Structure 1
Amino acid sequence: MAVEAGASAGAASLRIPAVSVVMPVFNARETLAQAVASIRRQRRVQVELICVDDGSTDGSLALLAEMAAAYPELRVIAQPHRGIVAALNTGLEAARYALIARMDADDVAHPERLARQAAFLLNHPPVGVVGTRVRSFPKRAVSDAFYAYEAWSNRLVQPEDIAREIYIESPIVHPSAMYRRDEVLRLGGYRDVPWPEDYDLWLRYHQAGYHLAKLSQVLLGWRMYPERLSFSDPRCSLGGFIRCKAHFLAHDPRVRRGPVIIWGAGMTGRRLGKELMREGVDIEAFVDITPRSIGRTRHGRPVHAIDYLRETRRFVIVAVPAAHARAEIRAQLRAWGREEGRDFLFAA
Structure 2
Amino acid sequence: MSDDTPKFSVLMAIYIKDSPLFLSEALQSIYKNTVAPDEVIIIRDGKVTSELNSVIDSWRRYLNIKDFTLEKNMGLGAALNFGLNQCMHDLVIRADSDDINRTNRFECILDFMTKNGDVHILSSWVEEFEFNPGDKGIIKKVPSRNSILKYSKNRSPFNHPAVAFKKCEIMRVGGYGNEYLYEDYALWLKSLANGCNGDNIQQVLVDMRFSKETAKRRGGIKYAISEIKAQYHFYRANYISYQDFIINIITRIFVRLLPTSFRGYIYKKVIRRFL
Question: Any conservation in 1 of the 2:133–2:207 contact (CA below 8 Å)?
Answer: no
In structure 2, distance between residues paired with 1:123 and 1:60: 38
SS in 2 for 1:114: helix
Correspondence for 2:190:
204
Distance in 1 (CA, whole Å) between partners of 2:219 and 2:211 is 14
Cα gap change, 1:262 to 1:173, in 2 (>3 Å): closer
Aligned to 1:21: 10
Deviations 1:21-64 (CA, angstroms, capped at 9, x unpaired): 11111233121111001111122354311111222125201221
Mapped pair 1:224 → 2:193: no
CA deviation string 1:103-125 (max 9, x = no partner): 11111101111121123223223
Sort the Cα spacing of 1:62 and 1:159 in 2 relative to 1 into closer, same or farther, 3 A: same
Asked if 1:186 is matched to 2:178, the reply is no
Q: Normalization by structure 2: what TM-score? A: 0.77
Q: Report the equivalent of 2:34.
A: 43
CA–CA separation in structure 2 for the residues paired with 1:137 and 1:270: 23
* TM-fit CA distance, 1:172: 1.4
Structural mapping, 1:41-190, within 5 Å: 41-54=32-45, 55-57=47-49, 59-68=51-60, 70-82=61-73, 83-138=75-130, 147=138, 150-151=139-140, 154=141, 156-190=142-176
Letter in 1 for 2:67: V
Q: Report the residue type matching 2:157 in the other structure.
A: P
Give matches, 1:275-286, under 5 Å: none
Query: Residue by residue, what CA displacement relative to the aligned partner does 1:130-173 show, whole Å, maximum 9, x if unpaired?
Result: 1011100027999x9x95xx54xx0x331122211112111212
Q: 1:52-77, CA deviations, whole angstroms, 9 ceiling, x for partnerless residues?
A: 12221252012212321x12512222
Output the CA distance in 2 between the equivalents of 1:17 and 1:185: 20
Q: Does 1:268 align with 2:247?
A: no
Richer in strand (by share): 1
The answer to whether the 8 A contact 1:21-1:101 is kept is yes
One-letter code aligned to 2:90: A
Q: CA RMSD in A?
A: 3.8
1:202-246 per-residue CA deviation (whole Å, 9 max, x = no partner) reads 111111122221101111000123555992698982442343233
Give the aligned residue type for 2:33: Q
TM-score (structure 1 length as normaliser): 0.62
Paired amino acid for 2:5: I
Separation in structure 1 between the aligned mates of residue 252 and residue 213 of structure 2, nearest angstrom: 30
Q: Which residue of structure 2 lines up, in the alignment, with residue 287 of structure 1?
A: none
Alpha-carbon distance in structure 2 between the residues aligned to 1:266 and 1:189: 24
**Kindly tell me: are residues 61 and 14 of structure 1, through their superposed partners in 2, closer, same or farther at Cα, counting changes over 3 Å?**
closer
1:223 alignment partner AA? R
Question: Match for 2:250: what amino acid?
Answer: T
**Gapped runs of 5+ residues in structure 2?**
254-268
Cα displacement string for residues 290-310 of structure 1 (whole angstroms, at most 9, x for unaligned residues) = xxxxxxxxxxxxxxxxxxxxx
Letter in 1 for 2:42: C
**Greater relative CO (CA pairs within 8 A, separation 6+):** 2
**Identical amino acids, percent of aligned pairs:** 23
Query: Which consecutive unaligned segments of at least 5 residues does structure 1 have?
Result: 1-11, 272-322, 325-346
* 1:38/1:111 contact within 8 Å kept: yes
1:252: which partner in 2? Answer: 238
Cα distance in 2, alignment partners of residues 210 and 201 from structure 1: 11
User: Aligned partners of 1:228, 1:270: CA distance in 2, in Å?
Assistant: 16
Deviations 1:59-103 (A, max 9, x none): 2012212321x1251222223342222221221111011101111
Following the alignment from structure 1 to structure 2, what is the Cα–Cα distance between the partners of residues 38 and 236? 33
Q: 3-state SS of the aligned residue for 1:133?
A: strand
**Which stretch has the larger CA shift, 20-29 or 220-229?**
220-229
For residues 257-285 of structure 1, what are the alpha-carbon distances to aligned partners after superposition, in whole Å with 9 as ceiling and x for unaligned? Answer: xxx667978971798xxxxxxxxxxxxxx
Q: Aligned residue pairs: how many?
A: 255
Distance 1:75 1:246 in 2: 37
Measure the CA separation in 2 of the matches of 1:168 and 1:64: 37
The worse-fitting range, judged by mean Cα deviation, of 130-139 and 104-113 is 130-139
Equivalent residue letter for 1:191: G
